[in-house]
Structure 1
Amino acid sequence: MLRLALHSLWARRLTASLTLLAVAISVTLLLGVERVRSQARDSFANTVSGTDLIVGARSGQVNLLLYSVFRIGNPTNNVGWDAYQQIRALPGIAWTIPLSLGDSHKGFRVLGTNEDYFSHLRYGRQQPLVMAEGHPFATPFEAVLGAEVARKLGYRIGQPIVIAHGAGSTSFSQHDNLPFKVVGILAPTGTPIDRTVHVPLAGIEAIHLGWDSGRHSKAVTAEQALEQDLTPKTITAFMVGLGNRIMAFQLQRTINTWRSEPLMAILPGAALQELWGLLSVAERALAIIAGFVVVAGLIGMLTTQLAGLNERRRELAILRSLGARPLHLFTLLTLESLALTSLGILAGLALLYGAQALAAPLLASQYGLLFPLAMPSTYEWQLIGLVWLAGLLIGLLPAWRAYRYSLSDGMSIRL
């Protein structure tokens, strides 16, 4: 019966192909939305690990998380260097990583930090940063590039780069009097680190010497800059690692009530949960739209089968005259629906993996989202199973109508 069903579909291959394509596109969209949602969550969650608190100027915790970790948006205010030094000296703090944002290089964010960034920052499953080439910076005018920056701009070790004032993709204010030399390139991480230029805090302070309200009023040479005190006056935010995580809430309360200036400490995991809460409406909307597309594809398959069933009444009558029973006709139509659904699912998976292979480099370079080619997850298999079951149920209606056609009804049709 399965062989007969496949031959029957081949005899109507044009109509069957269009139906199969509709099912394939709907399956691709359904699984694509789910994969984007899950992989985006994983990529965001893997960006920073092992960091207990992130401290910045008082604002929303999602805003602080976005600009300090994901380089999205801008801070409302900075953190005073004195406050940072006082907080890092509090009991229970194992390490801190200062972060200074506000400059860029050819559209990539520039991050001012210190050597603790390379020693303590973790991503993914507690994975440390690894140098693909070179070494971390040691002097104020050295830079370490993220993997994507080096790949896209074609930079190599020893190449000079000029940092631009401001975080926009285009800047007309260049710190060209104090270029930096590339001394290291980080291995790919699949996080915003890959799209970041890392320089010392002292270098950030040096390039802003002689700047007044964003304008370069007085050129300063590297020798002149090194003779001055390059201790930062403010930083954008800083990460905190604790010796005992039980102290996280106590330290968070201490920082949130800091008297010298308004500060806020957030738990990265809690901030991520709030971010997902904000995005949950959009996620559900996309899932509902994808579900309706699947329903539309299956209804299209049902419509095609019902429309063609009247034309096949003579064919079914001939099968009856050759000895086929009504149950055989019921099984034949059901198998045709299952074959179309199964082939549509396979074609949908092929389209999904093809689109994923093409889009993965762009998503990794532009948004830092990794979409590895992997087998469907348990939830995706469940979605596939639901689509297959829906295809089976939809196929029962034309199969039942074929079951009810009698031999005399089929043979009485005039051509």
Structure 2
Amino acid sequence: MLIKLARLSLWNRRGTVLMTVLSLVISISLLLGIDHLRHEAKNSFTSTVSGTDLIVGARSGQLNLLLYSIFRIGNATANISWETYQRIQRHPQIAWTIPISLGDSHRGYRVVGTNQDYFEFYRYAGQQQLQLAQGVIFDDVYDTVLGSEVATRLGYQLGQEIVLAHGIGQVSFSEHKDKPFTVVGILAPTGTPVDQSVHVSLEGIEAIHIDWQQGAPMPGRRVSAEQALEMDLTPKAITAFLVGLNSRAATFLVQRQINEFRGEPLTAILPGVALAELWQMLSMVERLLLVITVLVLLAGLVGMTTTLLASMKERQREIAILRAVGAHPGTLFWLVQLEVLLITLASLVLAMAVLMVGLWFGQDLLASRYGLFIGLNPIRDSSLQLMGLVLGLALLLGCIPSWLAYRRALTDGLSVRL
């Protein structure tokens, strides 16, 4: 009976109740959304690379090296000569290496120049190996293996030809049209930046730049795709390389030796340490966003309380009639609390629905632009705890209008002052 009465009372004031619910939906969506994005971003970054002991690049900060080599964010400060790479590769403690050459793109997706070791040794999300959904690994100079998102979003199939572009912009006017690549393989989804990458051989990277200099075609020199195949396509430089060691105990020794390498300035980093530094840098921003969201939520809850308080004067006759038919003052207290509960529950359900719809629409954008792969299910232990906290705060603040209704039930009569 009390639930029906509360529902009818809210329907009678549906205009103000709707605005209150809308305010709460926005604030709760922000709170749950930030919490979900925080967890998913951390999981996305952490699962991107697994089993790699060191990442080596030209001398720079470890965060910059981690971001461009693994997450395809930003650019390298310099390259590593092929001779240096081969010299370090022969280190007795190094079991395998994966060379990476960056700097080109295809319709906004980064091109990764590498070799077959990439598909054999690269691991993600707890030592999972890359798998082909279709086709084979590249074997020819002008072969390419696409990440799952590249193939899906651009509608590419095996055997189709694509043209790479110089630079990493969404639109490029410097394309290697004279040397197209053929799609020979498509990788299975990984939920990492691998899905957004176009993989080609190091020789392919060398071939398309053989008649280029400083980011532009060399005037008066034209080398066809067939002519390039007859030339020496040994890479002159790479951007970075991943390292796997024979023993984890040798990690710091090898890292120090690479950092002190005299041939050219290099930086060797531990992926886990770099990720920890990244989260430490972002923790202040994370806390600030959380504080702002909590303040927005409190503003919404206070607005709900204010709306209920403002409606108390309009409900004097309602309260008096309920008292006349035998309603106990405590009943009126719980009636208002039940209204608060219904408003909050409706707001929580709608906020979760809004958040899931927003994630569904924004998932591709976050993946393609920022390399973040966000799950569509925001329900987890922390989100349930936050929803419980929201409900508790709402009922706590709802005690103010509920107590006022209780007091008026004790003092007011059937007469209403106009």
Normalised by the length of structure 1, the TM-score is 0.96
CA distance in 1, matches of 2:376, 2:172: 37
Given that 2:211 and 2:223 are in contact with CA atoms closer than 8 Å, whether structure 1 keeps it comes out as yes
Take 1:173 and 1:258, find their aligned partners in 2: how far apart are those partners? 36
Please point out which of 354, 359, 364 is paired with 2:362: 359
SS of 1:239's equivalent in the other structure is: strand
Contact map agreement 2:144 2:200 (CA 8 A) in 1:
yes
Asked if 1:387 corresponds to 2:401, the answer is: no
How far has the Cα of 1:87 moved from its partner? 1.2
Equivalent of 1:338, from 336, 341, 344?
341
Equivalent residue for 2:15? 14
Which amino acid counterpart does residue 143 of structure 1 have in structure 2?
T
Within 2, Cα distance between the matches of 1:15 and 1:171?
53
CA distance in 1, matches of 2:389, 2:172: 52
Which residue type is aligned with residue 323 of structure 2? Answer: R
User: What is the deviation of 1:407?
Assistant: 5.4
Partner of residue 238 from structure 1, selected from 238, 241, 245: 241
Matched, 1:227 2:233: no
Aligned pairs, number: 415
How much does 1:221 deviate?
2.5
Q: 1:11 & 1:215 partners in 2: Cα distance? A: 71
1:262 alignment partner AA: P
**CA separation of 1:212 and 1:333: change in aligned 2, threshold 3 A:** closer
Q: Distance in 2 between matches of 1:357 and 1:306?
A: 38
The answer on whether the counterparts of 1:97 and 1:238 sit within 8 Å (CA) in structure 2 is yes
Report whether the alignment pairs 1:261 with 2:264.
yes
The runs of 4+ residues in structure 1 deviating greater than 4 Å are none
Q: 1:214 to 1:404 in 2, by over 3 A?
A: closer
User: 2:348 and 2:241 mapped to 1: Cα distance?
Assistant: 48
Offset, 1:55 = 0.2
Gaps of 5+ in 1: none
- Deviation at residue 32 of structure 1 after TM alignment: 0.6
Q: Is the 8 A contact 1:256 1:265 kept in 2?
A: yes
Q: Could you report, residue by residue, the CA deviation over 1:304-333 in whole angstroms, capped at 9, with x for unpaired residues?
A: 100000111121112112212221111111
Aligned partners of 2:145, 2:335: CA distance in 1, in Å?
66
Task: State the 1:142 CA deviation.
Answer: 0.9
Structure 1 counterpart of 2:138: 137
The residue aligned with 1:149 is 150
Rounded Cα–Cα distance in structure 1 between residues aligned with 2:123 and 2:10: 55
Question: Who is 2:327 aligned against?
Answer: 324
Which digits, 9 at most, give the CA deviation of each residue in 1:7-32, with x for residues without a partner? Answer: 22222222222212221221111101
Cα distance change of structure 1 residues 280 and 241 upon mapping to structure 2, 3 Å threshold:
same
1:92 aligned partner, one-letter code: Q
Residues 397 and 138 of structure 1, relative CA distance in 2, 3 Å threshold:
same
- Output aligned runs, 1:13-162, within 5 Å: 13-162=14-163
Unaligned segments of structure 2, at least 5 residues? none
Distance 2:107 2:390 in 1: 46
Q: 1:177·1:219 contact (CA, 8 Å) conserved in 2?
A: no
| Amino acid corresponding to residue 273 of structure 1 in structure 2 | A
Secondary structure of 1:411's aligned partner: coil
Cα deviations by residue, 1:366-408 (Å, 9 ceiling, x for unpaired): 3332222336111111111110000010110111111111455
Identity of aligned residues (%): 56
Contact 1:55 1:239 in 2 (8 A): yes
The DSSP-based 3-state class of the residue aligned with 1:103 is strand
Matches within 5 A, 1:208-219: 208-217=209-218, 218-219=221-222
SS of the residue aligned with 2:336? helix
Structure 1 residue 152: Cα displacement: 2.4
- Where 2:338 maps in the other structure, the secondary structure is helix
Distance in 1 separating the partners of 2:262 and 2:247: 24
Deviates more, 1:361-370 or 1:313-322: 361-370
- Structure 2 CA distance, aligned partners of 1:366 and 1:213? 27
CA distance in 2, matches of 1:99, 1:407: 78
AA matched with 1:256: N
Provide the C-alpha distance between the structure 1 equivalents of 2:354 and 2:73, rounded to a whole number of angstroms.
32
| Structure 1 residue 116, shift from structure 2 partner | 0.4
Contact 2:109 2:196 in 1 (8 A): yes
Most deviating of 165-174 and 234-243: 165-174
The answer to whether the 8 Å contact 2:255/2:269 transfers is yes
In 2, Cα distance between the equivalents of 1:203 and 1:150?
19
SS in 2 for 1:333: helix
Measure, in 2, the Cα distance between the counterparts of 1:282 and 1:124: 26
The answer on whether the counterparts of 1:146 and 1:195 sit within 8 Å (CA) in structure 2 is: yes
1:190–1:368 Cα contact (<8 Å) kept: no
SS at match of 1:181: strand
Contact 2:36–2:378 at 8 Å: present in 1 too? no
Displacement of 1:363: 2.5
Are the aligned partners of 2:324 and 2:414 in contact in 1 as well (CA < 8 Å)?
no
3-state DSSP of counterpart to 1:249? helix
CA contact (8 A) 2:71 2:371 kept: no
Aligned 8 A contact 1:51 1:239 in 2: yes
Normalised TM-score (structure 2)? 0.95
Structure 1 counterpart SS, 2:64: helix
Name the counterpart of 2:299.
296
Change (3 A) 1:159 1:250: same
Residue 178 (1) aligns with residue 161 (2): no
